[in-house]
Structure 1
Amino acid sequence: MSMKLLRRHQSMRRLSYAAVAFVLLTTALGFGPAAVEAAANVPPLGTHAKAATLIDVESGRILYDKSGDQRLRIASLTKIMTAIVAIENADLSDKVKVSARAAGKEGSSIYLKAGEEMKLEDMLYGLMLRSGNDAATAIAEHVGGSVEGFVRMMNEKAEWIGLTNTQFMNPSGLDEDGHYSSANDLAKLTAYALHNPTFATIVKTRIKKAPNPNESWDYQWSNKNKMLAMYEGADGVKTGYTKMALRCLVSSATRNGQQLAAVTINDRDDWIDHRNMLDWGFEHYKLKVVAQQGQPISGYPLAAGRTFRYPLASGEADQLHSKLTLISNTSTPYALGERGVLEWELSGNTIGVVPVYDSTSSRLQWKEKRPLPALDNAASAGASDYSFSHTMRAVVRALFGGGA
């Protein structure tokens, strides 16, 4: 196995289970975050943006969108993908050597010099806090072998996550024909990336210092994202601007255990719009516990195998419907301890599915650090896709542990 393939294999093992759970929820299992429309009894929300989206990070439910699928230039919001691809495919302790091409890259910069070496982790801070195009190019060359190779990795990742209105031509976001994304795709990408603890830590950092091999003083980068100081609970993500894309912004915030992410593209009043979008989301879509791990299933000696939370507007909880599907006692999943799946629907759309176990199963004692998207054994309609879903879950468990 080549060193690059080995690194990619190792990095996949480092992916958080939550991130994998999110992407399977939004793509492979057939019910994406936009499957359930905003509640009719929620007051309307307006923005000045050409396109905008608000998403609940844990569930992937899109709470609001305006021209959410329109393909647009996205400037340095591109660097969200650059960062997550680098984090997942390289060692953060790697020394990245800056090429002349990287050092001379136009646009925003952290002023790297050709021949300089910097730890990848530090360079990622320069990428996300100061939007360094020189850092983006150096990272791409290091992780992908070339800028072109890295861009292929970016597009492969976009396809893997299920971003259908996204195509990258460079790692920085400089205007280039064929380089675009949409507000909905950026929201999904952000929700995916925020499940990665390294990414989440970087984008919420306000000030970062890093060694400077060329001077007697250290690099010091302050985060361009004003939301970190302007909005209570703000914890990321990225600013962007070019003459053609105009002002672009992705922000995230957490309140009362719920994290939302807002996206605007081409928005002259983005700071105000993001504050209003986040306030609107927290006020009208509370994250509710639909099922608690260990919760008994009425009429059966079974219990829910995982906590499932979902953002619900006023009155939506009364519209939830659940369906229990049992599995054959001769099946492999049954031998591994599962007894079936409990599926929830809202407005005719599946919003989540969790496995069920015998009420005495030791699996119900596992501690959950953070409730994950309820995807186990999920299918877009009923449990007909059970075998596929179980196979996907088995792969995840083989990679990251957590059961047979």
Structure 2
Amino acid sequence: MKYKWRYLLIFTLIVFIVTSISNITFAQEVPTITAPNGVLIDYETGKVLFDKNAHQQTYPASTTKVMTAVLVLENANLDDKVTIDYDLYVDGSSMYLLRGESFTVKELLHALLIRSANDTAEALAIHVAGSVEKFVEMMNQRAKELGALNTNFSNPHGLPDTSHVTTAYDLAMIAKHAMSFDLFREIVNTPMLTFEPTEQTPETRYYRNTNKFLWGTGIGNQMLYDGKYINIKYDIIDGIKTGYTGAAKQCLISSGVKDDHRLISVILGAEGVDVYSDSRTLIDYGHANFKLVSLTGKNSDQLKVPVKNGKENYVNISIANDKLSIIPNNTKLSDITESISINENIKAPITQGQALGKLSYSLDNEVIGEIDLIAKESIEEQPILLKLLKPSKFFVIFISAFILWQIFIAYLRIKKRNRKRFSYRKRSPIYNFNKNIFK
């Protein structure tokens, strides 16, 4: 008995050590950044993977121009000509547009996002809304619609203004939407921009992208990262926008793609090249510790659910579309549980694509994804006349019982009648007549 307890104690100790090692091995070390504000989100799902004061209001500087670009892409014809028929001067980074020059909206978008030209931002704002003031109203309304609830813009370029504020999270939401535009992705990933001479500006304009992640190599373009100096250029980064003012300090929104998995980081208020090391720290952390998985895969299974008052008694339902989720790298798909909930009292009419339930996925008792279950076809309502004529279950049972009862009564009557007939024959005398007696 003494040895039994000793073995049990040793076994318990081994289990504890193994469990502890396992926890240490798979622990996800949260990164540290020097900037006061930062966030990392998954592009597909919008899930926040890192948060440092991500909802604290601060100055965005030229990262504002992402919002400006979104409104231009949504409200202007890219081939429209914008003619500068007024004197235009804005402080800070500029394309130095002169009265009489004409460019397409698309060309000005390139200058806005690559050169980070403040005068271009105002020219586009006036082209889209008629005035900078009206454009700012559009910016604030659209920002709220995109989930940027703690943002207030007062201009289209980001020059200092105490009322011009946003948050790291809000900029991530705006950038997430902006990256859904093919042209936006193409522009913010362009290292160099050239404008041919115009009558007003006889020399060629050459602009290098303000984002050193796209081209920064060699002395003067290095940063301290992971204990050593390396080039700022990082091949997995494909945009998106820098910003700097004395009040805002260094700001950067970055998009990093690895194995078809895109992450978006936002760093606000950094010092010098730390904005790049902080951004890379978050992007690398996200790719090292999280993966994007399909919860539904190619699931094409269909379910049938009953329909009330329909021409058909059942409707086929299936998933609306594929559902993606971001999960820790060490998570097994088998750890994810699936549950189905169907709406109660489903009645006709039903339209194709109508949501009739939900498919939920959970990991460690936390819902990580939900997707609608939709009708595969339309079901028309049964005509009122047919509904009235259509017997209910109770009516059918009643009629069936009544018919059986009548059959039983008829059987008893026939049986009784047969009995009487037999009894009468038994009591009556038998006469034998001679067929010739009456002759």
SS in 1 for 2:193: strand
1:316, distance to aligned residue in structure 2 (A)? 7.5
Read off the aligned partner of 1:325 and give its amino acid letter: S
- Inter-partner Cα distance in structure 1 for 2:354 and 2:252: 45
- Inter-partner Cα distance in structure 1 for 2:261 and 2:286: 10
1:139 aligned residue: 124
**Match for 2:301 among 281, 284, 296?**
296
- Residue 270 of structure 2 is aligned to residue 254 of structure 1: no
Question: Which ranges in structure 1 are unaligned for 5 or more consecutive residues?
Answer: 1-39, 363-404
- Inter-partner Cα distance in structure 1 for 2:300 and 2:353: 20
Q: Deviations over 1:302-356 (max 9, x none)?
A: 6433111111113375664433122455355554476533123456654433233
* TM-score (structure 1 length as normaliser): 0.73
Instruction: State which structure, 1 or 2, has the greater radius of gyration over its C-alpha atoms.
Output: 2
The 5 Å alignment of 1:61-72 reads 61-72=47-58
SS in 1 for 2:249: coil
SS in 2 for 1:247: strand
2:81 aligned residue: 95
2:43 aligned residue: 57
Closer, same or farther in 2 for the Cα pair 1:296/1:82, shift >3 Å?
A: same
Closer, same or farther in 2 for the Cα pair 1:182/1:99, shift >3 Å?
A: farther
- Inter-partner Cα distance in structure 2 for 1:152 and 1:209: 32
1:162, distance to aligned residue in structure 2 (A)? 2.0
1:228 aligned residue: 214
- Inter-partner Cα distance in structure 2 for 1:87 and 1:335: 32
1:41, distance to aligned residue in structure 2 (A)? 3.5
- Inter-partner Cα distance in structure 2 for 1:332 and 1:266: 56
**Match for 1:312 among 327, 336, 341?**
327
- Residue 345 of structure 2 is aligned to residue 340 of structure 1: no
Q: Which deviates further from its counterpart, 126-135 or 327-336?
A: 327-336
Contact 2:320–2:353 (CA under 8 A) maintained in structure 1: no
1:185 aligned residue: 170
Closer, same or farther in 2 for the Cα pair 1:298/1:335, shift >3 Å?
A: closer
1:145, distance to aligned residue in structure 2 (A)? 0.6
Closer, same or farther in 2 for the Cα pair 1:222/1:329, shift >3 Å?
A: same
Q: Which deviates further from its counterpart, 340-349 or 303-312?
A: 340-349
Q: Which deviates further from its counterpart, 324-333 or 274-283?
A: 324-333
Q: Deviations over 1:67-115 (max 9, x none)?
A: 00100011001001011011101111111122545x3111101121123
Q: Deviations over 1:13-37 (max 9, x none)?
A: xxxxxxxxxxxxxxxxxxxxxxxxx
2:66 aligned residue: 80
Contact 2:55–2:169 (CA under 8 A) maintained in structure 1: yes
Closer, same or farther in 2 for the Cα pair 1:336/1:45, shift >3 Å?
A: closer
**Match for 1:283 among 275, 285, 288?**
288
Contact 1:293–1:306 (CA under 8 A) maintained in structure 2: no
Question: Which ranges in structure 2 are unaligned for 5 or more consecutive residues?
Answer: 1-25, 216-232, 306-315, 378-439
Identity of aligned residues (%): 32
**Match for 2:180 among 195, 198, 221?**
195
Number of residue pairs matched by the alignment:
321
Closer, same or farther in 2 for the Cα pair 1:292/1:145, shift >3 Å?
A: same
Contact 2:352–2:374 (CA under 8 A) maintained in structure 1: no
